[in-house]
Amino acid sequence: MQQQKDPLELARERGLVLYSQEVAEDVLLLKWLAQMAMDEEFLTIFDRRRLVPSVWLELFEPPTMLFYKTDPEKALVRYAAWLIPAWFGGFGGVWVEKDLRSTHRGLESFLLSQAVSAIAFQRYAVLGGITSRGDFLERNKEHGYVNMGKLPWSLNGEHDQYLVFYTKEVWEQSAFNPFREGE
């Protein structure tokens, strides 16, 4: 029987960095904030008060785990995923740079998310999230995501948002799991 790889090792192999609050990383995260704000994406993911740099950086302080991948020059964040402990388990979020979302580049972001999911389900039995992307709900139902419904309020007041959950039990049987038995 082949020994399973540690999920953190898998994440590192795929180029993900675990945020460690170094000054250079803070600058990188502030550039990411500016990038999302200029692309008018910030408010589709985060609430308005996170536009304040100190409040933005505070979001990723421990016990939150932020994983990110940069461009080859390490100048811009191209992929980010965060895990925040919550009363029900963990709360997760993902942001992917626009050109990584396209069909021909989408596999890279899928593989990165797969590694972060392995880390999440090593720690939590349930992972929750909020999405404003209705297409995500339908597309991921077959992978076991459960849509709890439209929220009666919105983080930003501008987009409909939906609460979703994903359980460790479902993930363990999913093709999305790189450690699935028999793989």
| Strand, helix or coil for residue 103 | coil
Per-residue pLDDT band for 161 (boundaries 50, 70, 90) equals confident
pLDDT at residue 128 tops 60: yes
Listed residue (52, 145, 136) closest to 101, CA to CA:
136
Q: How many domains does the chain have?
A: 1
Residue 19 lies in a domain: yes
For the segment 115-136, the average pLDDT, to the nearest whole number, is 86
Q: Which residue has the higher pLDDT, 26 or 130?
A: 26
On whether residue 179 sits in a domain, the answer given is: no
Query: If pLDDT is split at 50, 70 and 90, which confidence band does 67 have?
Result: very high
- Residue 103 in tokens: 């069909």
* Segment 136-146 mean pLDDT: 75
Q: What is the CATH number of the domain that holds 58?
A: 3.40.630.30
Predicted pLDDT of residue 68: 96
Using DSSP bridges, classify how beta strands 126-131 and 65-70 pair: parallel, antiparallel or unpaired.
unpaired
β-pair partners for 90: 85, 127
Residue 105's pLDDT is 59
What pLDDT, on the 0 to 100 scale, is given for residue 103? Answer: 58
- Phi first, then psi, for residue 67 (nearest 5°) are -110, 140
- Stronger pLDDT, 158 or 59, i.e. the higher one: 59
Are 151 and 181 in contact, with CB atoms under 8 Å apart?
A: no
Pairing of the two strands 126-131 and 77-86:
unpaired
Average per-residue pLDDT for the chain = 85
pTM of the model: 0.86
**181 located within any domain:** no
What value, to the nearest 5°, has the Cα angle with vertex 108 and ends 90 and 60?
A: 35
Residue 143 structural domain: 7-173
Residue 2 in domain = no
121 within a domain of the structure (yes/no): yes
The percentage of residues in the chain with a pLDDT greater than 90, rounded to a whole number, is: 38
Residue matched to tokens 């992307």: 133
